[in-house]
Amino acid sequence: MYQAEGIQIQNLPAQDLGCWYCETFDAHLFASHEFDTNVHLNCIQTALAKDPEDPEAQIFKREFSEIM
């Protein structure tokens, strides 16, 4: 399961360390297995607020539905 600390970066390549949306790397990232990248939950929510039909954000939302 996803850790509350939000860090599961051990198995990801270096070029994928930043957030999918804002490209920032920090302690608030969650690892997405759907996209093999890291992402901020609040960036997903921001994307959904801008466009509720955003297909990538929808997939992130589904993947992280238990913690969002």
Per-residue burial over 6-28, b if 16 or more Cβ lie within 10 Å, else e, is bebeeeeeeeeebbbbeeeeeeb
Point out which residues bind Zn ion (CB under 5 A): 19, 21-22, 40, 43
| Span between the terminal Cα atoms of the chain, in Å | 13
Closest residue to Zn ion: CB criterion: 19
Looking at the Cβ atoms of 22 and 49, the one nearer to Zn ion is 22
- Shortest spacing between CB 20 and Zn ion, in angstroms: 7
- Shortest spacing between CB 30 and Zn ion, in angstroms: 10
- Shortest spacing between CB 56 and Zn ion, in angstroms: 13
